Amino acid sequence: MSEPIMQTSAMHVRFEGAVHAVRGVDLSIAAGSCFGLLGPNGAGKTTTIECMEGIQKPSEGRVLYRGKALDTAFSEEAGIMFQQTALQDFVTVSETLTMFQRLYKRSVPIQELIEVCRLQEFLGREPKKLSGGQRQRLLLAIALVGDPKIVFLDEPTTGLDPQARRNLWQLVSDIKSRGVTVVMSTHYMDEAYELCDQIAIMDHGQVIAEGTPDNLLRSIFSDVVMQLPLSDWPAGLSLQPFLAQSLGGQVQLMSKDVNDSIAALLEAKVPLQHLQIRKRNLEDLFIELTGRELRT
Amino acid sequence: MNFKRFYAVLVARNIEFVRDRGALAWSLLFPVFMIVGLYFVFNEQKSLYTVGTLGSQQVNVVSLFGLEEALVDVVPIDDLEDAKRRLGRHALDALIDSESGQYWLNPLAPEGQVIDRLLHATGAADGWQRAEISGEALRYVDWALPGILSMNMMFAALFGIGYVIVRYRKTGMLKRMMATPVTAVEFLGAQLASRLIVMVVINTFLLVGLWFLLDFRLEGSALLLALVFLLGATALISIGLLVASRIANEELANGLLNAATWPMMMLSEVWFSMENASPWLQNLSLLFPLTHMTKSARAIMLDGAGFIDILPSLLYLMLIALVFLVLGAKMFRWE
C-alpha cells in the first residue's frame, strides 16, 4: 500500500436543525488507488466527499491532502465531478472546456480530453442539450481538465442507461491506469466491485465496514446464495427448516454446503430445474450490514 | 488576482450574454421604446400660451395680449430666475413682471414670436419694457432621457448581476466554480467587468441611435457623461452583488431587487423633479445612487455642467461602489 494521499480523521459534520450528517469518519486513501464510498441515500456519502473536496468544512476533525490541510495547491491538483452541476447557458461544450482549462496553471490539452472522454460529436452543442451520458462525459472532462492528481466522482453514473454506465466505467478505468487517485461515491454495488480497490460502506453518517471488496465479502460471508422461483416451491412446505426466505417472487437459501442443501431440497421434492447458485456480492453485504434495501 | 482566470470567466460570461438574444434584444429595445414613446406622447402641440406673472398687481393678461381666454394659461411666479430659465427652455411662452412693468419673451420660440407680433399690432404693451431670454426648447423627452438611460442601467446592473449570480448558485454553477482554483474576487470581478462592458456597449449604441432619432440635447462633455454612467453603473452593480451575495432563491432575489429598484425609480427624479417634494423625501432621494447618476447626467446634458459641478455626486457614487463591493465580496458565499 502506497502513502495516503487523502485522509480524514474524527470528522464530524453537523447541519442546522441538529442534523448530524457525518459522525466521526476516519478514512485513508492510498495514492493511485480507486476508493469507493458506498451507502444508501442519506448515509452521509456526499457530505463526506464534499468535505474531502473542500466544498464543505467539517464541524470537527481534519481533512488532509498529502499530509496538509486543503490549500490552493489542492485546488490545482483536484478534479471534481459533482452529482448535479448546471453549466452556463449559451456556452458550447468546447467553450466550456476552454474556460475551465484557463482556470488551472497546469492543464490537459483540450484535444486529448475530447478524445479521452469522446466528446467529438457534440463539441458545438450547449451542455443543457446533451443526453445524460454525454453530459456526464463532459463533466468528467471538466474534472480532468486541470490534469488532476486526485479525482472525486460523486455518483457519476446515477441516472444513466446501462450502456452509458459501462462507457463511464471504462473512462474511470482509463483514469486509474494513468495513476490518478479516484475517490468515488456510488450506491451501485456492481460499479464499486468493478472499479474500486478499496471501499468504505457508510450508514447513518458512520463507516460501518472498510476494506477491499473481496476481503470484505470473505470476512462477512462463508456461504453462497441458492435461489429458485417461489412458484417452484411446493405448497405447504415450510421455508424455516431450510433457513430460506421469500424475496421478490424468489426463494433464497443461504448455504454453507451446496451438496447438503441440494440433497435436502431433493428429499423435500423441490424441483430444481430453475435453481441458481451464486456467490455473495456487495449488495448482499450491504443489506447484511445495513439491514435495508440499497436504493432507498 | 490571477488575470488568466479572471479573463476566462469574463469571456464565458460575455458569450453567455451576447448569445442570449432575448435578454440582449430587451436590453436594447426597452429604453428605445420608452424614450420614443415619451417623445410621441409629450410632443403633441399644446393649445395654450403659458404666461408667467410675477408681482402683486393683477394683470389682465387676456386683454393685454388680445387673446381668447381659453388660449392662455396664467402661471403665478415666485422666483424670477427660475422663471427665466423656464422661458429659455420654452416651458413658459412669456413672463410678465407687473411691478417693474417689464415682460420677457423668447425670440426662438414660435409662441413667443406670435405674442410679440400681437403686442406690437395691438399696442397693448405700450409703456412696458420688453426683454428677451433666448434658448432652445426643452422637450420633456430631453429632460427625461438622462433619467431613463440611468434607470435602464439600474435594471441592467441590479438584475443583470444579482439575478444571474443567484441563478448560478441555485443551479450549482457557483459550486462548480468553487471546485476550481478561481477565487471569489476573480469570479465577482469578472462578473462586474462583464456587466460593465455590456452596459457601456449597449448604452453607446442607445445614445448614438437616439441622437439620430431625437437629436437630444447634450450641452456638456460626452466623456464626463460616460464617466457618470460608468461610476453609476459600478455603484449599482455593487448593490446587485451584495443582494446576491448569499441568496439561492430566485423569488427572494426578485423581491429584494424590486425593493431596491422601485424606490429609486420613483424618487430619483427619473420621471419628475423632486423640487416640490417634502424635505425628508428629498433627503431620502439623495441617498440613492440613481439620483446622483440622473441629476449629474441631466446637468451635463441640459446645462453643460462640468466636472467640478458634479464632483460631489461622482464622489458619492464612488463611495457607494466601494462600500457595497467590499461588503458584497466579504459576504459572498459560493453555496
Q: How far is A94 from chain B (nearest CA, A)?
A: 11
- What's the confidence (pLDDT) of residue B117? 80
CA–CA distance, A252 with A287 (Å, rounded to integer): 14
pLDDT number for residue B39: 72
Q: Residue B15: which pLDDT band, with cuts at 50, 70 and 90?
A: very high
- pLDDT at res. B92: 82
Name the residue among A10, A22, A19 with its Cα closest to residue A50: A22
Residue B7 and residue A80: Cβ atoms within 8 Å? Answer: no
- In our burial notation (b when 16+ CB lie closer than 10 A, e otherwise), range A114-146 reads bebbebeebeeebbeebeebbbbbbbbbbbbbb
Give the closest-approach CA distance of A188 to chain B in angstroms. 24
User: For A86, which of B11, B16, B171 is closest by C-beta distance?
Assistant: B171
More confident residue, A123 or B100: A123
A191 CB near a chain B CB, below 8 Å?
A: no
Residue pair B80/B124 in contact by the 8 Å Cβ criterion: no
- Quote the percentage of chain B above a pLDDT of 90: 34
Burial per residue of B155-180, b for 16 or more beta-carbon CB atoms within 10 angstroms, e otherwise: bbbbbbbbbbbbbbbebbbbbbbbbb
Interface A–B counts its CB contacts (< 8 A) at 68
Residue A91: predicted pLDDT:
94
Q: In angstroms, how far apart are the furthest CA atoms of chain B?
A: 86
Residue B210 to chain A, least CA–CA distance (Å): 30
pLDDT tens per residue, range A250-296: 888 888 888 888 888 888 888 888 888 888 777 787 777 777 554 44
Identify which of B7, B171, B173 has the shortest CB distance to residue A102: B7
Tell me how far apart the 2 most distant CA atoms of chain A are, in Å. 72
- Interchain contact B176–A (C-beta under 8 A): yes
Q: Is B173 in CB contact (< 8 Å) with chain A?
A: yes
**Residue B234's pLDDT band (boundaries 50, 70, 90)?**
very high
Identify the pLDDT of residue B212: 82
Distance from CA of A107 to the nearest CA of B (A): 12
Q: pLDDT-based confidence at B61, cuts 50/70/90?
A: low
Among the residues of chain B, which ranges form H helices?
A: 3-19, 21-41, 61-65, 80-88, 110-122, 140-157, 164-171, 173-178, 184-214, 222-243, 250-267, 279-287, 289-303, 307-331
Mean pLDDT of B2-13: 94
Separation in Å, CA of A143 to nearest CA in chain B = 9
Quick one: pLDDT at residue A188?
84
Question: Smallest CA–CA separation between A100 and chain B, in Å?
Answer: 8
Instruction: Answer whether A75 sits within 8 Å of B180, measured CB to CB.
Output: yes
Cβ distance of A72 and B181 shorter than 8 Å: yes
Contact of A106 with chain B, judged by CB distance below 8 Å, is answered with: no
Mutate to test the interface with A, among B17, B176, B183, B187 (most CBs of A within 10 A): B176
**pLDDT at residue A148 greater than cutoff 90:** yes
- Per-residue model confidence (pLDDT) at position A233: 87
| Neighbouring residues of A210: CB distance < 8 A, sequence distance ≥ 6 | A27, A198, A199, A200, A201, A216
Look at residue A92 and tell me whether its pLDDT is greater than 90. yes
Q: Which of residues 245-284 of A touch B (CB under 8 A)?
A: none
Structure confidence at residue B105 as a pLDDT band (50, 70, 90): confident
Residues of chain B in contact with residue A91, where contact means CB-CB under 8 angstroms, are: 12, 15-16, 19
- Average pLDDT over every residue of B4-16: 94
Q: Residues of A numbered 137-166 whose beta carbons fall under 8 angstroms of chain B's beta carbons: which are they?
A: 142, 146
Distance (Å) from the alpha carbon of B234 to chain A's nearest alpha carbon: 24
Q: Are A140 and A184 in contact (CB under 8 A)?
A: no
Number of CB atoms found within 10 A of residue A224's CB: 17
**pLDDT at position B68:** 64
Mean pLDDT of all residues belonging to chain B: 85
pLDDT > 90? residue A162: no
Q: What angle do CA B53, B56, B59 make, to 5 degrees?
A: 50
Give the model's pLDDT for residue A295. 43
- Looking at beta carbons, which residues of chain A come within 8 Å of B176? 82, 85, 87, 142
Question: How would you label A151-184 residue by residue, b for 16+ Cβ within 10 Å and e otherwise?
Answer: bbbbbbbbebeeebbebbbebbeebbeeebbbbb
Q: Is A95 an 8 Å CB contact of chain B?
A: yes
Indicate the average pLDDT of chain A. 88
Query: Which residue on chain B is closest to A87 by alpha carbon?
Result: B173
Check CB contact under 8 Å for A72 and B335: no
A100 vs B: CB within 8 A: yes
**Per-residue model confidence as pLDDT tens digits over B136-170:** 667 777 888 899 889 989 998 988 888 899 999 99
pLDDT at A296: 41
Of residues A10 and B132, more confidently modeled: A10
**Confidence grade of residue A1 (pLDDT, cut at 50, 70, 90):** low
Residue B290 has pLDDT above 90, yes or no: yes
Q: Is the pLDDT of residue A181 over 90?
A: yes
The pTM of this model reads 0.79
pLDDT digits (tens, 9 = 90+) for B160-200: 888 899 999 998 899 999 999 999 999 999 999 999 998 88
Residue A218 DSSP one-character state: H
CB–CB contact A78 B179 (8 Å): yes
